[in-house]
Amino acid sequence: MSEKRVTVVEIARAAGVSKSTVSLVLQGSPLVNEATRAKVNAVIRDLGYVYNRGAANLRQSNAKSKIIGIVVNDLTNSFFAELAVGVDMVVQSAGYVQFLSNTGESIDRQREVIASMREHGISGLIVSPARGTEAIDLKPLVASGIPVVVVVRNVPGAKVSSLVSDNRAGSFAAVEHLAALGHRRIAFLGGFPDTAVFAERLEGYRDAMQQAGLDPDRSLVIGSAPSRAGGVDAIDRAMLVPDAPTAALCFNDAVAFGVCDGLRAKRMEPGEDFAVVGFDDVIEAKTAVPALTTVSVDPQGMGRRAAQLLLKQINAGRADAEAIISSVRLMVRQSSGEQSMGLERRVSP
């Protein structure tokens, strides 16, 4: 059940001004003096009022939005571009348009763009949360009855639907593969250690190392920005470790591409002098040289599935939250030293 919406009349009464003055403040009119504007804005914040800009523009309160919001934490990573394409495939065919925004891992920016999307009267939201997002950050959306699907990163305690990949199983399969090729010193490179995804992928790495009878040496776990530049930095540090690694599971494909760049800068060839495995299977993974061995989570497929889950909730009115863990598979290509390309190994959940 949706919470009662705060009205302009209530704001005017609390601020001791007229309804028309509140409307002018909401519209950003220069006709209101700064002291009055500040007083009205303070009341708006205190009462938790959300300006429905779409309704204001259309001048009809019963107009139903056909807008889906999608907020991602790092649009520079092609994974999220592919995810957004997958979402768009589904929502477009259902008659919706997609508003896409990038937070760059900023909680403040995330708060701003979500508030803006609410002003435009979005019907639902798909969000890959910025680092540090907590359940309380999503509570206003839940309270207002806006359907939300969290993807990639879960938010513990949030009463919203979630769709994440089986990170532990994917990492386990990758390390198992590298160990089977004879590698004993296998590094885990990249990613922010304060995220749940990092913790889950690291858990799979450590479990597989132990099962293979290998020492999960802490010095071989090197965090960095989950980007190409972060990959270069991580491999540079890894090669300074005494008894340096001969292979690495990378936090994601962007890191893996950076690791390949860093290796070449050291006159080492990925797939020949050092085995590299990524995580995601973005489009470039198959066409890279060497082709990247990686854990495929099917980003476009994840986007399609998230959109289907969101539309299901929108159509149902207020469906119960669902938690989905999607299966992954290991795509074995040249970067890990395999001669065969395109070998697919399904990972058991």
Q: What is the mean pLDDT of residues 198-225?
A: 96
pLDDT tens string 132-171: 999 999 988 888 889 999 999 999 889 899 999 999 999 9
Residue among 298, 241, 252, 297 nearest 276 (CA): 252
pLDDT of amino acid 346: 47
At 48 the pLDDT is 78
Does the bond joining 290 to the residue before it have cis omega, within 30 degrees of 0?
yes
Q: Is 70:87 a contact under the CB 8 Å cutoff?
A: yes
What is the C-alpha to C-alpha distance for residues 268 and 275, in angstroms, rounded to an integer?
Answer: 11
Among 2-6, 109-113, 232-236, the range with the most confident prediction by mean pLDDT is 232-236
Res. 183: pLDDT tops 90:
yes
Per residue in 275-329, pLDDT (tens digit) is 999 999 999 999 999 999 999 999 999 999 999 999 999 988 766 789 999 999 9
- Tell me the pLDDT tens digit for each residue of 251-281: 999 999 999 999 999 999 999 999 999 999 9
Q: To the nearest whole percent, how much of the chain has pLDDT over 90?
A: 68
The answer to whether the CB of 245 falls within 8 A of the CB of 291 is no
- Render 8-34 in DSSP notation, one character per residue: HHHHHHHHTS-HHHHHHHHTT-TTS-H
Please name the residues in contact with 316: beta carbons below 8 A apart, sequence gap of 6 or more: none
Number of domains, the chain? 3
Bridge partners (DSSP) of residue 161 are: 149
Domain span at 14: 8-49
List phi, psi (to 5°) of 101: -140, 150
φ, ψ at 280 (rounded to 5°): 140, -50
> Are 303 and 292 in the same domain?
no
Structural domain contains residue 58: no
Distances (CA, A) of 208 to 118, 168, 175, 176, 310: 44, 10, 6, 6, 35
pLDDT tens profile 32-83: 788 898 899 898 888 877 766 655 554 434 445 789 999 999 999 999 999 9
Of 241, 177, 240, 233, nearest to 204 by C-alpha is 177
The candidate with the shortest Cα–Cα distance to 176, out of 124, 212, 202, is 212
Q: Which residue has the tokens 């009115």?
A: 317
340 shares a domain with 198 = yes
pTM value is 0.78
Same domain flag for 211 and 187: yes
Backbone angle region of 317, left / alpha / beta, with phi > 0 → left and psi within -120 to 50 → alpha: left
266 located within any domain: yes
CATH number at residue 173: 3.40.50.2300
β strands within 194-342, DSSP E: 221-222, 247-250, 275-280, 293-296, 323-326, 329-332
Q: What is the pLDDT at residue 8?
A: 85
Same domain, yes or no, for 135 and 278? no
Same domain? 142 vs 222: no
Are 287 and 194 in the same domain?
yes
